[in-house]
Amino acid sequence: MTVSQDLYELLNPKDIPSLKRALVNRLIYSIGKDPVETQERDWFFALAYVVRDLLTLRWMESMRRYYLQDAKRVYYLSMEFLIGRALGNSLLNIGCYDEFKQVLEDVGLSLEELAETEEEAALGNGGLGRLAACYLDSLATLQLPGFGYGIRYDYGMFSQRIEDGYQIEHPENWLRYGNPWEFPRPDVLYRVQFRGHVVEYRDVDGLVRYRWTDTEDVMAMAYDIPVPGYGGETVNNLRLWAAKASRDFELKYFNEGNYIKAVEEKTQSENLSKVLYPDDTTQMGRELRLKQEYFFVSASLQDILKSFSTDHRDFSELPREVAIQLNDTHPSVAIPELMRILVDEHRVPWDDAWDITVRTFSYTNHTLLPEALEVWSVRLFEELLPRHLQIIYEINHRFLKEVSERFPGDTGLLRRVSIIDEDRGRRLRMAHLAIIGSHKVNGVAALHTQLMKTTIFRDFETIFPDRFVNITNGITPRRWLNQANRGLAALITESIGPHWVTDLERLRELAPLADDAEFRARFRAVKSANKAHLAALIDERLNIRIDPTSLFDVQIKRMHEYKRQLLNVLHVITRYNRSRFGSAGDAVPRTVIFGGKAAPGYHAAKLVIKLINDVAKVIAQDPAMDGLLKVVFVPDYNVSRAMEIMPAVELSEQISTAGMEASGTGNMKMAVNGAITIGTLDGANIEIRERVGEDNIFIFGHTAEQLGELRRSGYNPWNYYHANKELKLALEMISTGYFSADEPDRFKPLVDSLLREGDRFALLADYESYIACQEEVDRLYRDPEMWTRKAILNVAFSGWFSSDRAIEEYAERIWDIPTRR
């Protein structure tokens, strides 16, 4: 019997008395509390420790299995992991939810209430970090040896409060009570270097070598978090790095009485992992951001190579044993770092080292917006990472030499594909580095990948015709349906069996039930219960009463101009005006729900939040709107809020400017929960339409190609303004203070961005089509049976958007590792 089996018998997850003993023991011996003098948080921590014990046994078995199989490992490098709360997900994945619920009820506690006390690990900004978390779940569920690497930020994404309609940011101290899921690893400690200078010398063979010396050092300490797959057979690992000073403090200064100076170096070093995404509008913020990126990349590569070197001595084997996925450009400095380690520390010849590097790395691009493609000034890079800049210069020189030989005389091509941007003050284009240094580059939706190859990276597509592939994003059904929507999950399982949880394509079996009146009624009852639950939460938290029988029209996502929350507001104002003037026609009662955070320095997005709240206030104060229209902004949107809102959504707003959204995953989460999408042909909306059928989605607006032609022919937003009276009125109300009587010009900048600054995101061009599409929504909602049928078909044909499918595509097309199917 193995140690794990022996321990497993001591803590049997199906034995209620055993679990009860374990819970009380943890409360007494780990929390140090008497069961009669405890708070809910004490019980939560005791419960979390017991669940972690169960995960740990499976975790060790998984790691042992990978080692014995000498399995090729996947390492997912991401600046963000928006993992959310872990308790409910862990219990469901290891199949012990009902048992622990019973244990807690026996001692007078509620599992649901205890779960609410868990602090959310908000280690991400939005879709990028949530995608990373979904992929870790799928890697474990598919029993693939996949490991995440990131940063253990002391303060994650800020906590958003709404004060007088404005977003106010507050620190998100998610570690204030500790994190019961993590294992600190003080023995896993790596030195990370910054600054210093590079010394050139010749080795004993007369070859030129380089040594990076006189550096400022920071230590990276590991914290491990188990990641359970569904069924509990495999538990993988997320390793997060925290910055520690190379020395605790200068004793000399301390003895002299200069206590601040004594700990100054320690404090500065440990600031590295304090905050997610420091404000990069300042020089200090940009420096900290770059240091964060290199910090976690350097520690991760040292850790990866240490694991590899345990049983392998020849670095030429690295691509056969290791696959490293770069989640966006933030970790792309890993490419020169691996080259530095191979060439400088292990003396691998440059050409061999480059071949190893390219075959090891792959890169996921997440944006088509030029301003969002990461660049660094050469000066800052030279100051912080002087050896890496030399390596990048050499990579660039060799690459441009190869390009010039293949495309002689095309100096324009050389300028466009160079890693060094000479036209805008000598900057390093990190996306170019990631493309050149990876064997595969993937987009995250079919349109996104096509536009990558035909617009921003078209030159690289010419140079590397086999490098670009598409792998459309996916979501984990374990969290976003099985956990978030227990009522619908139970109905689905009762109807088609439980296998959909690990094979989401099985949802197709629901399609015939869309024509079953009894099933439609039960489906509608689940949705109604979810809406009533959300209405109660909004009433309790915001003191806003909404009608649970109204159409729940929802746009919840990061606040950004291209996501066009402002277009949604224009529809709300138009709807308000029609109701005021008695021309609403077939409009049904609606509750329009917004949620999302704006970056602290993004003034336009923050002003839209204020506009939403001011419009909501005016509508709420108009008695004529009672029962017709309500607008709600849900503060502090995060994973937990999303799990509360998405099961209640009926209309999913996915209205970004065509060609701007890489993929989106909120659209997938809402569709699988029975919402119907209204959206443009952008990102994954296109594939959703293909899967659910054109009759089961509302599509409006210009396509990316049409917008391109419109701009080339001279787009003039004033033409749309003058041609549409409803649009003109809505914009005038915004700009002249109808919604801001205390400050009439408050929202004038938003209108100016549309009329005087070119309407970059084509709101006015799409307004009329959007309003017409919303009228179609109203007409359909008046037929509950037909609406429900289409909602069921959205669930039935959303199975392809599972993150399991996406991970299997990565495994087969990029990482070259076998899958179970």
Residues with catalytic function: 366, 557-558, 563, 665, 669
Could you tell me which of 272, 278, 386, 373 has the C-alpha nearest to residue 336? 386
| Cα(653)–Cα(595) distance, integer angstroms | 12
| Cα(527)–Cα(488) distance, integer angstroms | 8
| Cα(621)–Cα(616) distance, integer angstroms | 9
Q: Is 724 helix (H, G, I), strand (E, B) or coil?
A: coil
CB distance 150 to 81 below 8 Å: yes
Q: DSSP secondary structure string, 471-496?
A: ----B-HIIIIIIT-HHHHHHHHHHH
Can you read off the two tokens belonging to residue 203? 């080795």
| Cα(193)–Cα(220) distance, integer angstroms | 10
Kind of pairing between the strands at 159-163 and 551-556? unpaired
Kind of pairing between the strands at 651-654 and 551-556? parallel
Q: Is 201 helix (H, G, I), strand (E, B) or coil?
A: strand
Contacts of 378 (CB under 8 A, 6+ apart): 389, 420, 426, 427, 428
CA quadruple 784, 787, 790, 796: dihedral sign: negative
Kind of pairing between the strands at 427-429 and 420-421? antiparallel
Could you tell me which of 83, 93, 106 has the C-alpha nearest to residue 181? 83
CB distance 403 to 427 below 8 Å: no
Could you tell me which of 262, 259, 257, 258 has the C-alpha nearest to residue 245? 262
Can you read off the two tokens belonging to residue 393? 């210069």
Contacts of 710 (CB under 8 A, 6+ apart): 702, 762, 765
Secondary structure tally for the chain: helices H, strands E = 34, 24
Angle between helices 763-781 and 748-755 (to 10 degrees): 110
Helix (H) or strand (E) holding 458: helix 458-463
Kind of pairing between the strands at 81-82 and 122-123? antiparallel
Q: How far is CA 373 from the centre of its chain?
A: 17
Can you read off the two tokens belonging to residue 188? 């896993």
| Cα(495)–Cα(518) distance, integer angstroms | 12
What backbone torsions phi and psi does residue 74 show, to the nearest 5 degrees?
A: -105, 130
CB distance 384 to 287 below 8 Å: yes
| Cα(788)–Cα(224) distance, integer angstroms | 44
Residue 600: half-sphere exposure toward Cβ, Cα within 13 Å: 15
| Cα(754)–Cα(371) distance, integer angstroms | 19
CB distance 480 to 501 below 8 Å: no
CB distance 683 to 663 below 8 Å: yes
Q: How far is CA 106 from the centre of its chain?
A: 38
